[in-house]
Amino acid sequence: MGSTTSGPHGKPRGVLRRRIDQFVREVVKFGAVGGAGLLVNLAVFNLVRHVTDLQVVRASVIATVVAIAFNYVGFRYFTYRDRDKSGRTKEMSLFLLFSAVGLVIENGVLYTATYGFDWDSPLQSNIFKFLGIGIATLFRFWSYRTWVFRALPARAAVARAESFLETESAHPPALTGGAVKRSTAPYERH
């Protein structure tokens, strides 16, 4: 019936299933933030395009930068909130580096359509802006999950969880007047 002992490579099927489930959840969260970022990007692009006399690609670059800032907040605090937070400077540097590459990919598609093929109507600009975003999103997903928002090694995650549980069990919250109050005394090792 439903054996969970081992798969073709000797790994338990439950482990493989858990990894697939985690990956699917990550893709869904990335898509939610990315979808909101897409709306921000296209809204800012069309607003800048209609309110100013900036050229198409310059308006697109401004919109992309606004979307990058929006997306960082969403990725850090929603999609990858469980990932390593120890090196924020390195994380931000890598995020900006890979976002800049994505910006070049995204706007390179628009630039090629606009100046290479003279496709510059508002509809054509939006189509190629959207296409560029799609191609850049594939790159961003790979680079962010691989380099920027790195998963904690399994042993480190378990150690953090165990130390948290030890600390909580050694110093349970004190009830005071119906409210939970935590001790501010330094934690002691037992």
Domain assignment present for 177:
no
Residue of higher predicted confidence among 187 and 114: 114
pLDDT band (50, 70, 90) for residue 169: low
pLDDT in tens, 99-146: 999 999 999 999 999 999 999 899 999 999 999 999 999 999 899 888
Domain assignment present for 79:
yes
Residue closest to 36 by CA, chosen among 84, 82, 68: 68
- In this model, does residue 12 exceed pLDDT 60? yes
Query: What is the model's pLDDT at position 89?
Result: 85
Domain assignment present for 169:
no
Domain assignment present for 184:
no
pLDDT in tens, 45-100: 999 999 999 999 999 999 999 999 999 999 888 888 877 777 788 888 898 999 99
- DSSP for 54-117 reads --HHHHHHHHHHHHHHHHHHHIIIIITTTS--S-HHHHHHHHHHHHHHHHHHHHHHHHIIIIIS
Domain assignment present for 160:
no
d(CA 170, CA 173): 10
Domain region containing 64: 13-152
If one counts the domains in the chain, the total is 1
Predicted model pTM:
0.67
pLDDT band (50, 70, 90) for residue 189: very low
Residue closest to 18 by CA, chosen among 155, 161, 154, 162: 154
Q: 36, exposed or middle or buried, with CB in 10 Å at 0-12, 13-18, 19+?
A: middle
Q: How many CB atoms lie within 10 A of CB 88?
A: 10
